[in-house]
A and B are shown apart, each in its own frame.
Chain A
Amino acid sequence: MPLTNETIKARVTEKFGEQLTGFEEPYGMLTFEAPKEMNLKVLNFLYDDEELKFRFLTDITGVHYPDKPGRELVVVYHLHNMVDNVRIRLKVFTNINQPDIYTVTGLFSAANWMERETYDFLGVNFVGHPNLKRILNVEEMDYHPLRKEFPLEDQTRIDKDDEMFGRG
């Protein structure tokens, strides 16, 4: 029997009940949310389950939604079942004032650098990560540039006059 989105959804709901929310299928890819303290449990279940077998972590990314109070930051796990060639997406929302999320490096070694990147750009604090420091940006950087409150442009320039760029 092929592994369809309905089967996956039924399987995880059977295990976790009402705790998983926000099921949707943008462009056919099953996406759902888990409470932030349950990310490891859900990922472990998706990994170990003999039917689901989501054993490849494609990517970890993060998004900042400044307009969603209490759930500003989201960490997105992209998982791949290599056997049935099925992909799913798991989202974990967190408060920006205390962005602590359990690391998944114990389950996927690949998560090490991905979590460092998410920390670097969005400031998500992965609890238990073996080496949580910046990976892409310069180490002296004192902010997390993909948070929306920081403008894109380099703020150290003094010679780029706004009037010269038609935005004065």
Chain B
Amino acid sequence: MAKGFCHSCCGIEFMGTMGSHYDLGRFGAERVGFSPRQCDLMMVMGTIAKKMGPVVKQVYLQMAEPRWVMAVGACASSGGIFDTYSVLQGIDQVIPVDVYVPGCPPRPEAIIDGLLRIQDLVGKESLRRREGEHYKALLESYGIQ
């Protein structure tokens, strides 16, 4: 179940991805949850202003372990064309990111590919990921315990 965090053109692409034409439901992601507490994947799609940074982090904190994050599009991944004082230069400055989907905006195929890579991670990584030293250190570096 995915939590969508859409606010720009990437969000529109995601709506296309969810729609009947590309149908993300075929890949086991039928339902987009609107409460982060019920979700295990957060997809951040769109420009995150610096003022939104704490909100992104708060939504991430509200998700229960195990949780994954996908940064969709250039803006969420690196700030994109908005190299300016008010825009967060990539959401990895506030939360750890598992998969980056490039594109401005990415095609629905790219978003599906990103989701499949997340599923790959989910399938292959240890069930006890959150106990791992590496994972703990990573969260520590973001000030999340």
Report A's interface with B, CB cutoff 8 A. 136-138, 141, 145, 150, 152-154, 156-157, 160
User: Known contacts A137-B86, A145-B85, A145-B86: does B51 contact A154 (CB below 8 Å)?
Assistant: no
**Interface residue SS majority, chain B:** loop
Q: Are B50 and A138 in contact (CB under 8 A)?
A: yes
Smallest CB separation, B130 vs chain A (Å): 28
What number of A-B contacts does a CB cutoff of 8 Å give?
Answer: 30
A residues within 8 A CB of B83? 152-154, 157, 160
Smallest CB separation, A167 vs chain B (Å): 12
Which residue of A137, A150, A160 is within 8 Å of B51 (Cβ)?
A137
B residues within 8 A CB of A156? 89
Which residue of A136, A138, A157 is within 8 Å of B89 (Cβ)?
A157
Residue of B nearest to A155 (CB): B85
Known: A136-B51, A136-B86, A154-B89; 19 extra A-B contacts, CB below 8 A, are: A137-B50, A137-B51, A137-B85, A137-B86, A138-B50, A138-B51, A138-B53, A141-B85, A145-B85, A145-B86, A152-B84, A153-B83, A153-B84, A153-B85, A154-B83, A154-B85, A154-B87, A157-B89, A160-B83
Smallest CB separation, B44 vs chain A (Å): 18
Residue of B nearest to A139 (CB): B51
Smallest CB separation, A13 vs chain B (Å): 42
12 contacts between A and B (CB under 8 A): A136-B51, A137-B50, A137-B51, A138-B53, A141-B85, A145-B85, A145-B86, A150-B85, A153-B84, A154-B84, A154-B85, A154-B89
Smallest CB separation, B128 vs chain A (Å): 32
Interface centre among B51, B85, B86, B89 (most CB of A within 10 A): B85
Smallest CB separation, B32 vs chain A (Å): 29
Q: How long is the Cα–Cα vector from A156 to B89 in the complex, in angstroms?
A: 9
Interface residues of B in 120-141 (CB under 8 A from A): none
Smallest CB separation, A147 vs chain B (Å): 11
